[in-house]
Amino acid sequence: MLEDKNTQKTSLAELGEFGLINHITQYFKVQNPSTIKAVGDDAAVLDASDKQTLVTTDLLIEGVHFDLSYMPLKHLGYKAVMVNLSDVYAMNGVAEQITVSIAVSNRFPLEAIEELYSGIQLACESYNVDLVGGDTTSSTKGILISVTAIGKAEKEDVVYRDGAKETDLIVVSGDLGAAYLGLQVLEREKQVFKVDPNNQPDLDNYTYLIQRQLKPEARKDIPGLLKEMEVKPTSMIDISDGLSSELFHICTQSKVGCKIYEDKLPLDPQVISACEEFELDSTMVALSGGEDYELLFTVPIADFDKIKGNPHFSIIGHVTAENQGLNLVTRASQEIALKAQGWNALKEEQ
């Protein structure tokens, strides 16, 4: 973030596609025994296994999903990987490989692509994942990044969205709403900067929020932790579009309703103070903020003792009959119907 990006500029056309691929993949080391052949052939080759394979993909586009005026390319690379790994963990699996395709317009020199890939590499190293393929091409506008993640899980460990049962407890990992508020802080600073480019922002009160927006961490630890605790969720999903939206997915696919409690929603102190400052309702932010990349899951009520008191988890409610719908019980003990107000990429552009 602090490096001077203007020292050297190498044009991508000079290198050519294969030169670029060689250049950016030379620092990636294979870490998983299941990766037989990574980059460099028509397809990657992954070893046979008696486990099931998990495959997920996400596409991030400049101007739609991120703004390079406050998203450093290294963070973008890191986040693009996290977004995908999170989906593998939400199946209760272990992520092992990724492919990364990028398209860049000619306003980006090689050094920018190196920064992007240094973030991808950091994510690969930290999460024990191998880069096994991809495509690099030019775009007519901006930058986009398409990542596919591949993971493994024992057949009996895979957790789908459709297994939630009445009376199950509803649990979330970590806390909610911080990434959304981080975005609000960054957007505000961008506006301030436009008016006064010499203004030095003081972001000390927002470090956690900004980190959650710019450098989210996927919950790699949760599948292992659940196994240790001998808890198998009945359903699980990652929180990318916001808690409400994810609850709708689980309830719709499981054919159940749910009741969650406002006073149980896990909020970081910075979320609470930033909500006051921005005059936002912290419950709304927790429900609809999105990009938390925490895991939302349901467990049989018999597992209550295993979950309660664990600092990673908050029990926020329970599963009800389908005809009761999805409801939030407010601090004033009022019951109100939840709405899926997740982020909708297709509406953003309107």
Interface positions, 37-96, toward its own copies (CB under 8 A)? 37, 40-59, 61-65, 86-88, 90-91, 93
Can you tell me which of 13, 203, 301, 336 binds its own copies, judged by CB under 8 A?
13
| Distance of alpha carbon 71 from alpha carbon 211, whole angstroms | 11
Residue 99 engages its own copies in binding (rule: CB under 8 A)? yes
The 3-state secondary structure of 185-204, one letter per residue: HHHHHHHHHHHCCCCCCCCH
Closest approach of its own copies to the CB of residue 92, in Å: 10
Question: Is 30 within 8 Å of 130 (Cβ atoms)?
Answer: yes
**Residue type for position 204:** D
Closest approach of its own copies to the CB of residue 261, in Å: 25
Closest approach of its own copies to the CB of residue 65, in Å: 7
Is 202 annotated to bind a ligand? Reply is no
| Distance of alpha carbon 343 from alpha carbon 106, whole angstroms | 30
| Distance of alpha carbon 119 from alpha carbon 319, whole angstroms | 39
Binders of its own copies among 135-174, rule CB under 8 A?
A: 135-142, 144, 146, 148-151, 155, 158, 160-161
Is 241 annotated to bind a ligand? Reply is yes
Is 65 annotated to bind a ligand? Reply is yes
Is 343 annotated to bind a ligand? Reply is yes
- H or E segment and range at residue 103: strand 94-104
Closest approach of its own copies to the CB of residue 239, in Å: 11
Binders of its own copies among 189-248, rule CB under 8 A?
A: 236-238
Name the token pair of 320. 């009800």
Residue 291 gets which letter from DSSP?
Answer: -
CB-based burial, 278-297: b 16+ in 10 Å, e otherwise: eebebbebbbbbbbbbbbbb
Binding-site residue total for its own copies (CB under 8 A)?
Answer: 78
Name the token pair of 178. 């911080």
Annotated binding-site members: 42, 56-58, 65, 87, 117, 134-135, 161, 238, 240-241, 291, 343
Annotated binding-site members for substrate: 65, 291, 343
Annotated binding-site members for ATP: 117, 134-135, 161, 240
